[in-house]
Amino acid sequence: MKKLLIAVAALIALVIVAAIAAPFLIPVSVYKDQIEARAQAATGRALAIKGGMSLALFPSVAIEAKDVSFANAQGASTPQMAQLKSLKVAVKLMPLLRGRLEIDSFVLEEPVIVLEIDRQGRGNWVFGTQPAAASTPSASAPSGAPGDIRLGEVRLKDGRVTYIDARSNTKEELTAINATLDLPDLDKPMKLDGGATWHGKALTVKLDVDKPRALMAGQLAGISLQLGGDPIKLSFKGQATTTGRAQGDVDLAIPSVKDLATWVGSPINARPNTMGALAISGKIERQGAKSSFTGAKVSLDQLKGSGDIIVDTAAAKPHLTAKLAVEKLDINPYLPPEAPAQRSGSAGTQGGQQGWSEDPIDLSPFRAANADLDLTVGGLVIRKIEIGKGVIKGQLRDGKLTLDLTELALYQGSGQARVVLDGSGQVPAVEARLTLAGVQAEPILKAAAEFERLTGTFGTESQVTARGRSQKEMVSALAGQGKAAFTDGAIKGINLAAMVRNITSAFTDSSARETQKTDFSELGGTYTIQQGIVRNNDFALKSPLLRVEGKGTVDLPKKSLDYRVEPKAVMSTEGQGGQMQAFGIMVPVDIKGPWDNLSYRPDLAALIRVDPSRALDTLKGAIPAIPGVPLPGAASQPAQPPAAGQQQQAPASQNPLGTLRNLLNR
């Protein structure tokens, strides 16, 4: 027995010595040439091991090769697809003899890899001719998932990966790539820690998989993923498969959207204090072509919202379904700044008003997808218009977005609206239908059109359309019709009742112009719009002791008004429905000019043409009496002689012809 044990020990020692000595006895060129030849045959590319190469059989089967290069595809931008400073692979010997693969170590030092797509869309990682699609494996075929892989030390040190796409002439590069992998076996958790630098910013990644075998077999496995760095932080915790199915919680935090866009090479021209911090969280689920994001919470700058989003990419065009609730939404910081107001008389303005914007309107992004939207907004601020709570139903189909505002709170009133934004053609188009009731007129007109001459409670029904590549073109092409009614308000800047009572004070006292106003109980009419010109022919105003009719145009492109009103005094003190028994005279008034500088002029010439006798009676009150000069239509009175040494002459302010001329020419 003793001799047998000695013989076995001697045999084992001999095997160990042989395993240690074999690499020194076998010429390196033998297995080096074999490796290069087999790589050439398998890929059609040259593999070159230019540096030293070593082989060890004990205690692990280990190969180390230095200065390794692998040729790129023909016509590629670089001669080498991959280069390595060194490659070290060690496999445990005894498990290998029993049919198990246990990697003791796998180390890549300073790998430089170039991934490239040529102009025909072929990647340099495709070798030779691509085989036909494989048929479904038979029941006897192996599963493809290694049964007993065990990894020891797996490291990648200081690598660089370059991606080149000749189709779009783009190039991206990851540098300082370092990674370590821990995989005791396929039934135990796998851990990956790594990092890289992209566009000058360092990123870190951590990946934990609880069941690697299940993941490799296409089954759900627990996954925790964390991506960190200054520009972005992303985490996912849930389950996923290698086929793209996933479900779990996701959190995204971006300190600055503006900085992130610049970092990825697509800078955005955002205004100061906008496109800053972005945070998104919720539950994500992806199965097949459908992805959902539920219980989502989103915040950008001061904007906050929540809701559910579903995206289906099964069709040729993605379909989005969203149900969202947003707090007060002020979009002004994200709109282009308004052009500064120009001084009166400047080119391109009317009375110093700011013109309509000529910035291009681009609705082409509407063609990228179809969508169904359900949006509740706590409040909305657009330019100077402030809207209260609104409920919006939206539908986007082939570039046309239809928005139905089923609930709209607006300046103490309410309403409903439908807006259609059509980006399906080359020229954007807009359609709108609006119904409002109980809206305060002054604040909405001031916010929407910089018009501050009208107060009261406002209601309207309108329908308009427009086409154009800018706001200016849209306004110039505006067409439609509607009706509007104001109650219990006032027209600021003129007192029509005072005008009827005393023409001189109503139109010659400019100092009181800003404090004058015409109160009314009812005001309204219908209108049509063609090429941005609003026409109204049935304007009517009712107030105690006064009735006013009018007609004229509002030139929206030029922001100007050309209107004529005809006031009448009445016997009744009633407003609505009062008797139209006129007394006194009717003095037509022409209202003209830019919105911010309207002028009001009485048309006394028209009054004289219509009713000369009544005009003379009116002029009696308008022209002060002059001693010794009879008023028109008055009986002759003996003239009083002037005092001795004096010549009788009326002061200029009491000259009836001058006063009449002044009134007619105002």
Digit-coded pLDDT (tens) for 221-251: 999 999 999 999 999 999 999 888 899 999 9
Q: Any idea which of 140-154, 360-374, 614-628 has the lowest mean pLDDT?
A: 614-628
**Structure confidence by residue, pLDDT tens digits, 440-477:** 988 888 887 777 888 999 999 999 999 999 999 999 99
Helices (H), 62-184: 93-97
| Among 293, 168, 311, 308, CA closest to 238 | 293
To which residue do tokens 């601020």 refer? 381
Identify whether 59 is preceded by a cis peptide bond (ω within 30 of 0): yes
pLDDT computed for residue 482 by the predictor: 96
Phi (first) and psi of residue 48, to 5 degrees: -120, 130
pLDDT computed for residue 321 by the predictor: 94
pLDDT computed for residue 629 by the predictor: 42
Q: What is the dihedral of CA 472, 477, 478, 480, to 10 degrees?
A: 180
pLDDT computed for residue 180 by the predictor: 92
Q: Please give, one letter per residue, the 3-state secondary structure of 430-479.
A: EEEEEEEEEEEHHHHHHHHHCCCCEEEEEEEEEEEEEECCEHHHHHHCCE
Q: Any idea which of 54-58, 181-185, 406-410, 455-459 has the lowest mean pLDDT?
A: 54-58
**Structure confidence by residue, pLDDT tens digits, 403-438:** 998 888 888 889 898 999 999 988 999 999 999 999
**Structure confidence by residue, pLDDT tens digits, 648-664:** 444 444 444 444 444 44
**In angstroms, what CA-CA distances link 4 with 7, 10, 11, 13, 17?**
5, 10, 10, 14, 20
Pairing of strands 201-209, 190-198: antiparallel
Average pLDDT of span 530-558: 90
Residue 387 and residue 460: Cα distance in Å, rounded? 16
- % of residues, the chain, pLDDT over 70: 72
Average pLDDT of span 595-606: 78
Q: Any idea which of 90-99, 383-392, 577-586 has the lowest mean pLDDT?
A: 577-586
pLDDT computed for residue 339 by the predictor: 57
Q: How confident is the model at residue 95 (pLDDT cuts 50, 70, 90)?
A: low
Q: Is the pLDDT of residue 36 over 50?
A: yes
Q: Is the pLDDT of residue 55 over 80?
A: no
**Structure confidence by residue, pLDDT tens digits, 279-290:** 999 999 998 889
**Structure confidence by residue, pLDDT tens digits, 132-146:** 443 444 444 444 444
Domain boundaries, the chain: 478-625
Residue 94 and residue 86: Cα distance in Å, rounded? 26
Of 51 and 374, the one with more pLDDT: 374
- Contact between 427 and 467 under an 8 Å Cβ cutoff? The reply is yes
pLDDT computed for residue 125 by the predictor: 85
pLDDT computed for residue 347 by the predictor: 39
pLDDT computed for residue 141 by the predictor: 40
pLDDT computed for residue 51 by the predictor: 85
- Contact between 435 and 458 under an 8 Å Cβ cutoff? The reply is no
Q: Is the pLDDT of residue 586 over 70?
A: no
- % of residues, the chain, pLDDT over 90: 34
Q: What is the pTM of this model?
A: 0.62
Average pLDDT of span 547-566: 91
Q: Any idea which of 118-122, 214-218, 300-304, 584-588 has the lowest mean pLDDT?
A: 584-588
Q: What are the CB-based long-range contacts (under 8 Å, 24+) for 68-76?
A: 70/39, 70/45, 70/46, 71/45, 71/46, 71/47, 72/45, 72/114, 72/116, 72/124, 73/45, 73/116, 73/118, 73/122, 73/124, 73/126, 75/118, 76/114, 76/116, 76/118, 76/124
pLDDT computed for residue 215 by the predictor: 87
pLDDT computed for residue 381 by the predictor: 82
Q: Any idea which of 108-112, 362-366, 572-576 has the lowest mean pLDDT?
A: 572-576
Residue 159 and residue 153: Cα distance in Å, rounded? 17
